[in-house]
Amino acid sequence: MLPVIQWQTPPNTLCLERQVHVWRISLDLPASSIVRHWINLADDERARAERFCFRRDRERFIANRGLLREILSYYLDCDPAQLHFRYNPFGKPTLDQNVNKSAIHFSVSHSNTLGLIALADTPEIGVDIERIDPIHANMTIAEQFFSPREVAVLRMLPRTLRIKAFYNCWTRKEAFVKAMGLGLSMSLQDFDVSIIPGEPVTLLRVHGDDRAAQRWELRELFPEPGYAAALAIAGHGRQVKCRGWSETSARLRKEVKLSNTIE
């Protein structure tokens, strides 16, 4: 199982060269933290938050965006409120290049109370997390969104493996689509991923691109029991490091920065 390590004493620098850093975040935060993150959000993010009908969903969105800013600011050594995001035509966010001197790229996903933030030195990165719900892992949904090959594999599996295989498929496909940056314009049926539990995690085929499977790497992540997650990134050989961002991480970051300033 891929470990999630509680962040205790943050180092002064974090290098992304040939690495991918995946942060697990909790979206159920105390009111004081929600207020802190709200202050750091941009106007468009606040407007999006206000559109949520339920307080729980609104606060989880604020936590997700606020923690993204907090983690990115740790790498870039700036205030979280100073970060500015741009969006491609399909909605994928990137950092404004005027602030992002280190060329950091990221992907964000959340489900229920957990989120994942993946960072790398390439824009072709995607992460997805889903809470496992057996009700949704049915063949009707699979036939609507999965490729014919994936549906056939799912049908042949025993029921004891089918739910796990379903979420393997879902998270790997979503991570790949995010890494491509094409959003809903890319059909989930236009490519195949491996889904059988215990077998190697791979991109098997992309319609119209015979070399895609050799250019991309998929990884299975284990954020917490009851969740499935996957990472997609262009190229091979990067080391994946998983950590957990806690409420004390931001305080420790400030203490380290203050200590370095004094010295």
Q: Mind listing the pLDDT tens digit for each residue in 2-47?
A: 444 444 445 555 788 889 999 999 999 999 999 999 999 999 999 9
Does residue 130 carry a pLDDT above 50?
yes
Whether 195 and 252 map to the same domain: the answer is no
Whether 141 and 54 map to the same domain: the answer is no
Residue 91 amino acid letter:
G
Q: Are 252 and 199 in contact (CB under 8 A)?
A: no
Whether 147 and 217 map to the same domain: the answer is yes
Whether 83 and 110 map to the same domain: the answer is yes
Whether 54 and 181 map to the same domain: the answer is no
Residue 16 confidence (pLDDT): 87
Residue 25 amino acid letter:
I
Number of domains making up the chain: 2
Does residue 99 carry a pLDDT above 70?
no
Which residue, chain included where needed, has tokens 């990137």? 94
**In what side-by-side order are the strands of the sheet with 114-120?**
5-6, 239-244, 19-26, 114-120, 105-111
pTM for the complete prediction?
0.89
From residue 75, alpha-carbon distances to 60, 78, 100, 109, 188 in Å are 23, 8, 10, 19, 33
Residue 252: strand, helix, or coil: helix
Residue 192 confidence (pLDDT): 96
**Separation between Cα atoms, residue 239 and residue 203, nearest integer Å:** 18
Whether 119 and 158 map to the same domain: the answer is no
Higher pLDDT, 102 or 144: 144
Whether 23 and 106 map to the same domain: the answer is yes
Whether 61 and 36 map to the same domain: the answer is yes
From residue 113, alpha-carbon distances to 14, 59, 178 in Å are 27, 11, 21
Whether 111 and 140 map to the same domain: the answer is no
Residue 3 confidence (pLDDT): 47
Whether 79 and 106 map to the same domain: the answer is yes
Residue 194: strand, helix, or coil: coil
Q: Are 229 and 222 in contact (CB under 8 A)?
A: yes
Dihedral (Cα; 178, 183, 184, 187), 10-degree rounding: -50
Domain at 213, CATH number: 3.90.470.20
Summarised one tens digit per residue, pLDDT across range 198-249 is 999 999 999 888 888 889 999 999 999 999 999 999 998 899 988 888 766 6
Task: Kindly tell me the burial class for residue 225, based on how many C-beta atoms sit within 10 Å of its own C-beta (0-12, 13-18, 19 or more).
Answer: exposed
Whether 209 and 253 map to the same domain: the answer is no
Q: Which region, left, alpha or beta, applies to residue 198 given φ > 0 means left and ψ of -120 to 50 means alpha?
A: left
Which structural domain range is residue 62 located in?
5-123+238-262
Whether 111 and 184 map to the same domain: the answer is no
**Separation between Cα atoms, residue 41 and residue 126, nearest integer Å:** 23
